[in-house]
A and B are shown apart, each in its own frame.
Chain A
Amino acid sequence: MSRKQKKMLIRILAAAVLLIALHVIPAAGAARFVLYLIPYLVIGYDILIKAAKGIKNRQVFDECFLMAVATVGAFALALYDRSGDYTEAVAVMLFYQIGELFQSYAVGKSRRNISDLMDIRPDYANVERDGKLEQVDPDEVEIGSVILVQPGEKVPIDGVVLEGSSSLNTSALTGESLPRDVGEGDEIISGCINLSGVLKIQTTKEFGESTVSKILDLVENASSRKSRSENFISKFARIYTPAVCYAALALAVLPPLARLLALGMSPDWGTWIYRALTFLVISCPCALVISIPLSFFAGIGGASNAGVLVKGSNYLETLSQARIVVFDKTGTLTQGVFEVNGIHHSELENEKLLEYAALAESASSHPISRSLQRAYGKEIDRSRVTDIQEISGNGVTAKVDGREVAAGNDKLMDLLGISYIGCHSIGTIIHMAIDGKYAGHIVISDIEKPHSKEAVKALKASGVRRTVMLTGDSRKVAEKVASDLGIDEVYSELLPAGKVEKVEELLKTKKEKEKLAFVGDGINDAPVLRRADIGIAMGAMGSDAAIEAADVVLMDDDPLKIAKAIRISRKCLRIVYQNIVFAIGVKLVCLVLGALGIANMWLAIFADVGVMIIAVLNAVRALFVKKL
Chain B
Amino acid sequence: MKKTYKIDVDCANCANKMEEAACKTAGVKNAVVNFMTLKMNVEFEEGQDPKSVMQEVRKNCKKVEDDCEIFL
Contacts and interface: CB of A to CB of B under 8 A. Distances in A.
Interface string A202-228: 000000000000000000110110100
B34 interface: yes
A294 B36 contact: yes
A251 to B, nearest CB: 23
21 contacts: A53-B66, A54-B66, A62-B14, A63-B11, A63-B13, A100-B10, A103-B11, A104-B10, A107-B36, A111-B38, A220-B37, A224-B32, A224-B39, A234-B16, A285-B13, A286-B13, A290-B12, A293-B36, A294-B12, A294-B36, A297-B36
A603 interface: no
Interface in A95-126: 100, 103-104, 107, 111
Interface string B12-38: 111011000000000000001011111
A286 B66 contact: no
B16 to A, nearest CB: 5
B64 A111 contact: no
Contacts of B34: 221, 223-224
Contacts of B14: 62
Interface string A477-502: 00000000000000000000000000
A216 to B, nearest CB: 11
A111 to B, nearest CB: 7
Interface of B: 10-14, 16-17, 32, 34-39, 41, 63-67
Contacts of A294: 12, 36
B13 A59 contact: no
A326 to B, nearest CB: 31
B71 to A, nearest CB: 16
Interface string A270-303: 0000000000000001100110011001000000
Question: Nearest 3 A-B pairs (CB), nearest first?
Answer: A297-B36, A289-B13, A290-B12
Given A57-B63, A289-B16, A111 B36 contact: yes
Counting contact residues on chain A (CB < 8 A from B), the size range is 20 to 34
A62 B63 CA distance: 13
A50 interface: yes
A293 B35 CA distance: 8
B41 A224 contact: yes
A16 interface: no
A237 B13 contact: yes
Nearest to A58: B63
B11 A57 contact: no
**Interface residues of chain B: helix, strand, loop or mixed (majority):** mixed
A224 B38 CA distance: 11
Interface of A: 50, 53-54, 57, 59, 62-63, 100, 103-104, 107, 111, 220-221, 223-224, 226, 234, 237-238, 285-286, 289-290, 293-294, 297
A220 B16 CA distance: 18
Given A59-B17, A63-B11, A224-B32, A50 B66 contact: yes
A57 B67 CA distance: 13
A221 B32 CA distance: 10
Contacts of A63: 11, 13
Given A50-B67, A59-B63, A223 B37 contact: yes
B67 A289 contact: no
Contacts of B37: 111, 220-221, 223
Contact of A59 (B11, B35, B38, B64): B64
A539 B36 CA distance: 27
Given A57-B63, A107-B36, 10 more contacts: A62-B14, A63-B13, A107-B35, A220-B37, A224-B34, A237-B16, A286-B12, A289-B11, A289-B12, A290-B12
A485 B49 CA distance: 57
A223 B13 contact: no
Contact of B11 (A53, A224, A290): A290
Contacts of A107: 35-36
Contacts of A59: 17, 63-65
A233 B34 CA distance: 15
B30 to A, nearest CB: 11
B36 A57 contact: no
A241 B64 CA distance: 15
A301 B16 CA distance: 21
A290 B37 CA distance: 13
Contacts of A290: 11-13
A345 to B, nearest CB: 58
A377 to B, nearest CB: 49
A328 to B, nearest CB: 32
Nearest to B65: A59
B11 to A, nearest CB: 7
Nearest to B13: A289
Contacts of B11: 63, 100, 103-104, 286, 289-290
A293 B13 CA distance: 11
A50 B67 CA distance: 8
Given A237-B16, A286-B11, A286-B13, A223 B36 contact: yes
Nearest to A301: B36
Contacts of B10: 100, 104
A223 B65 CA distance: 22
Nearest to B16: A234
A237 B35 CA distance: 16
